[in-house]
Amino acid sequence: MQGHVGESDNGKLILYKAWFCPFAERALIACKEKSIDFIEKEIDPYKKTEEWLSINPNGTVPALTQNGKNLYESSICVEYINDCYNNDVNLLPLDPYDRAYVRLWGDITGKKIVPFYYKTMKTPEEDDKKKSIEDLLAGIELFSKETQKREGPFFMGNVFGYVDLMLFPFVYRCNAVLGRYRDFKVPKEEKYQAYNRWYEACLEHESVKSILQDQEKLFDGYNSKYTNPRL
């Protein structure tokens, strides 16, 4: 269900998102995984209205409201959604070590992959571009090596969860945007094998499929923002 800022929630969770935002997709996938009846509010996070800033003082999506209380930051929203709803589906493992381990890898991929997606997209210099693609691939290789430790196809094995949803929206954009904008491609080499298998499995996973943006639409969005696609 789509709604507008300020609409009453009747106890339902309201998720503020923007169609182009991979951080918001983390929370959106969590809602779908948990089969929640929630309200989606599409907003422009860059318009810092008083009303929007009263929900999230940082003015970033995702943010959520439930029963008049607000939360923001994608990882916090995901954990809240996981803790509040449907205990039959656990996005984070129940075992304390495993729970800490997935948080650790959410953090590692957030530092070793996510920033290099943005850097590769934004950098105009040829040398910097080459270096940031190398850094991005090094992060993906690290993730691949760790994923390979289990049977797969997902990060923790057979069950889709926290690390998968924290990372996938960004690497999907690596293909959609960097693939065309920066000639970026993850090679079909042994060291990326677990990653490539993981990517295909996520792409076919129901909750992910239900929220994926069209790659052309994403590319057009970024293309108009960074006007020369071949910089």
Ligand X SMILES: N[C@@H](CCC(=O)N[C@@H](CS)C(=O)NCC(=O)O)C(=O)O
**Number of residues counted as binding ligand X (CB under 6 A):** 11
Cα–Cα distance measured from residue 130 to residue 109, given in angstroms and rounded to the nearest whole number? 20
Q: How many other CB atoms sit within 10 Å of the CB of residue 28? A: 26
Told to check if 59 binds ligand X by CB under 6 A, we report yes
In the complex with ligand X, the residue whose CB is nearer, 63 or 140, is 63
Query: Which two tokens mark 228?
Result: 């020369």
The answer to whether 109 touches 93, Cβ cutoff 8 Å, is no
Contacts of 105 (CB under 8 A, 6+ apart): 143, 146, 155, 163
- Span of 60-68, 200-208, 212-220, 222-230 interacting with ligand X by CB under 6 A: 60-68
The distance of closest approach from Cβ of residue 220 to ligand X in the complex, given in angstroms and rounded to an integer, is: 16
Told to check if 226 binds ligand X by CB under 6 A, we report no
The distance of closest approach from Cβ of residue 175 to ligand X in the complex, given in angstroms and rounded to an integer, is: 17
Q: How many other CB atoms sit within 10 Å of the CB of residue 123? A: 17
Between residue 18 and residue 47, which ones bind ligand X under the rule CB under 6 A? 18, 21, 23, 45-46
- The amino acid that residue 183 corresponds to is D
Between residue 67 and residue 126, which ones bind ligand X under the rule CB under 6 A? 73-74
Q: How far are the Cα atoms of 35, 73, 162, 204 from residue 207, in angstroms, in the given order?
A: 9, 20, 13, 9
The distance of closest approach from Cβ of residue 95 to ligand X in the complex, given in angstroms and rounded to an integer, is: 25
The distance of closest approach from Cβ of residue 226 to ligand X in the complex, given in angstroms and rounded to an integer, is: 15
Told to check if 136 binds ligand X by CB under 6 A, we report no
**Element holding 72 (H helix, E strand):** strand 69-72
The distance of closest approach from Cβ of residue 180 to ligand X in the complex, given in angstroms and rounded to an integer, is: 19
Q: Which residues bind ligand X (CB under 6 A)?
A: 18, 21, 23, 45-46, 59-62, 73-74
